Structure 1
Amino acid sequence: ASLIGEFGPKLLGDYGRAMLIYYPTCILYAILAFPLYAYISGGKEGVSRMSKYILTPALTAFATQSSVATLPTNMAACKNIGVPKDVYEIVLPMGATMHMDGSVISSILKISFLFGIFDLEFAGIDTYLMALVVSILSAFVLSGAPGGGLVGEMLIVSLFGFPPEAFPIVATLGFLVDPMATCLNAAGDTIASMMVSRVVEGEKWIEENKEEVLTI
């Protein structure tokens, strides 16, 4: 209520514009990047299997907003795709806390959002590099639990020297973008498992692992 009283409708409009930028960007990234990674991993068959089984982990992550809670469906998807068990049992748990592409994108959005709210110029190579470094750091400190982004948001506010009132502003934005961020994070773990399989098992790994449907 205090924030609305101070910033008024401008803040609500800024949140709306941020959503109009972030969600389409994430969808575009998933449409373009995920099939490319799957093709690099396993050719046309890799793209076909990824497309068939990636939806369940993606929707689970979107609904739960937790990469850890998505692990069972991720493991089932990897098994169905043909990723070796010894690969996905290592990659997926590590990816749940380390692979944060959606969170890095959202961190860039949060930083530029705060620059705009406080009428600061978001320009210059040093500012861009700082934003990239802080985004990666803030993504790595996220936990697998819902709402873990609050720690990353505190890091953004403190490292950029924003005033204390910036935290509730960016925290609200964090809650709005978290479902899609987690969706990219967790679904990307499955793609990462495929890429690791390509490196570890060779280019014919997907042909040597028969598709097996696992229901959970």
Structure 2
Amino acid sequence: MTRFFKIWNRTPLIKRIAIGVVIGLFLGLLLPKLSLIGLLGQMFVGGLKAIAPLLVFVLVANALSQHEEGQKSNMSTVIGLYLVGTFSAAFVAVLVNYIFPLTLTLTKSAETDLAAPQGIAEVFQTLLLKLVDNPINAIATANYIGVLTWAVVFGLAMRNVSPATKELLQTLSEVTSKVVTWIINLAPIGILGLVFTTISENGVGILADYGLLIAVLVGTMLTVALVVNPLIAFIMMRENPYPLVFRCLRESGLTAFFTRSSAANIPVNMKLCEDLGLNKDTYSVSIPLGATINMAGAAITINVLTLAAVNTLGISIDFLTALLLSVVAAVSACGASGVAGGSLLLIPVACSLFGISNDLAMQVVGIGFIVGVIQDSCETALNSSTDVLFTAVAEKSVWGKKKR
């Protein structure tokens, strides 16, 4: 047994996760009623979600408190890449609609009782109120916009404190990071439980009727992940981006796919940035920020489903209107983390551009929830892996300038 644990610990985490996926798949098929296995996945995600807000707060506050005047952090470049990437994803979804126009069967059975925001103004209002949330409540409720805001405030305020106080914050940051490392090492067991739950509770039968919709959603996200994002990376770095792209998808996208939570994947992304040798002053801020505003997958979901509703109702749209939709989807996607229900509940905002009633829009949201098992997993994988990719690209682009 001791030898087994030694071999297991020496095995790369990705391989251990792959083993967990396979075991979870078989257990889900053979023992679907053994719910105790699924509890392992819930505990793993719960642990990540519990520690992530505290990790974000201490890392961001510590990074800013230690930051010295004139020190480079590349944050402006990272934010620019986040915005360009999200808009590009929304625009690609529009182009895909012209190639593979989808239609939906809208019925009352697809309705949902959840309340969607009434417009862009409400999305922004929600975000602004999140900014001034009580800091303790923000950490307790995983309000990352509030956590980031207060971490920045405390970090800036602590720039002028004594070295001993800064050292205490540094120690807290290191201790929290160590706890996160312990939790991440449990990923194979946790993902085993998550795969088991997905297989045992969600058969493929209900997804068969929406196969084309799923194919377009997943295909569009893959196009962004494997074509658009690498193109942006190449323009910035002037070197082959695919080794970096594939590593981000493998080490960040894989865990995000199964946890289906950008927030839960923040510790995983932090560790990957550390392994890549990136500047901690940058990634300690850019990764939690990306989990809030870098939402390429959400922009794709909003546009694909909105345009499917438009096609179903026979509404004709010109290119300029489609371009406006891309802007609205990108802006709405950036606010997805501040709205209950995520990207799906922002579909009515986009539908309102075409005069589609809220009742019909909510039926589209209902269909989104039906395919959400796959859609949400792929969306989160794209969003989270891109956080690391663009953080690395921003830093490598600076290296390229220094070489020239």
Which category of TM-score, normalised to the shorter sequence, fits these structures? 0.7 to 0.9
Rounded Cα–Cα distance in structure 2 between residues aligned with 1:134 and 1:43: 32
Does residue 142 (structure 1) correspond to residue 336 (structure 2)? The answer is yes
Rounded Cα–Cα distance in structure 2 between residues aligned with 1:69 and 1:50: 21
Q: Is the 8 A contact 2:253 2:381 kept in 1?
A: yes
Match of 1:29 among 224, 230, 243: 224
Aligned-pair CA distance for 1:172: 3.0
Q: Letter of the aligned partner of 1:67 in structure 2? A: S
Q: What is the aligned partner in structure 2 of residue 133 from structure 1? A: 327
1:40-189 matches, cutoff 5 A: 40-41=236-237, 43-44=239-240, 47-121=242-316, 123-143=317-337, 147-175=341-369, 176=371, 177-189=375-387
Q: Is the 8 A contact 1:50 1:81 kept in 2?
A: no
Does residue 20 (structure 1) correspond to residue 215 (structure 2)? The answer is yes
Does residue 194 (structure 1) correspond to residue 392 (structure 2)? The answer is yes
SS at 2:337's partner residue? coil
Q: For structure 2, which runs of at least 5 residues remain unmatched after alignment?
A: 1-105, 111-206
Q: Is the 8 A contact 1:91 1:189 kept in 2?
A: yes
Over residues 73-126 of structure 1, what are the superposed CA-to-partner deviations in whole Å (9 max), with x where a residue is unaligned? 1111111112111111111111111111121122220221110222212x3133
Does residue 3 (structure 1) correspond to residue 198 (structure 2)? The answer is no
Rounded Cα–Cα distance in structure 2 between residues aligned with 1:61 and 1:112: 27
Q: Letter of the aligned partner of 1:166 in structure 2? A: L
SS at 1:120's partner residue? coil
Over residues 146-174 of structure 1, what are the superposed CA-to-partner deviations in whole Å (9 max), with x where a residue is unaligned? 83124412322334321232233321343
Rounded Cα–Cα distance in structure 1 between residues aligned with 2:328 and 2:259: 26
Q: Is the 8 A contact 1:38 1:194 kept in 2?
A: no
Does residue 203 (structure 1) correspond to residue 397 (structure 2)? The answer is no
Q: Letter of the aligned partner of 2:276 in structure 1? A: I
Q: Is the 8 A contact 1:92 1:190 kept in 2?
A: yes
Q: What is the aligned partner in structure 1 of residue 3 from structure 2? A: none
Aligned-pair CA distance for 1:64: 2.3
Q: Letter of the aligned partner of 2:107 in structure 1? A: L
Q: Is the 8 A contact 1:68 1:145 kept in 2?
A: no
Q: Percent same amino acid among aligned pairs?
A: 29
Over residues 187-210 of structure 1, what are the superposed CA-to-partner deviations in whole Å (9 max), with x where a residue is unaligned? 1000111122135x52289xxxxx
Rounded Cα–Cα distance in structure 2 between residues aligned with 1:150 and 1:25: 16
Rounded Cα–Cα distance in structure 2 between residues aligned with 1:166 and 1:102: 23
Quickly say closer, same or farther: Cα 1:18–1:49, change in 2 above 3 A: closer
Rounded Cα–Cα distance in structure 2 between residues aligned with 1:93 and 1:34: 19
Aligned-pair CA distance for 1:36: 4.2
Quickly say closer, same or farther: Cα 1:28–1:198, change in 2 above 3 A: same
Q: Is the 8 A contact 1:141 1:151 kept in 2?
A: no
Q: Is the 8 A contact 1:37 1:191 kept in 2?
A: no
SS at 1:54's partner residue? helix
Q: Is the 8 A contact 2:248 2:386 kept in 1?
A: no
Q: What is the aligned partner in structure 1 of residue 101 from structure 2? A: none
Rounded Cα–Cα distance in structure 1 between residues aligned with 2:353 and 2:208: 26
Aligned-pair CA distance for 1:71: 0.3
| More moved, 186-195 vs 151-160 | 151-160
Q: Is the 8 A contact 2:348 2:362 kept in 1?
A: no
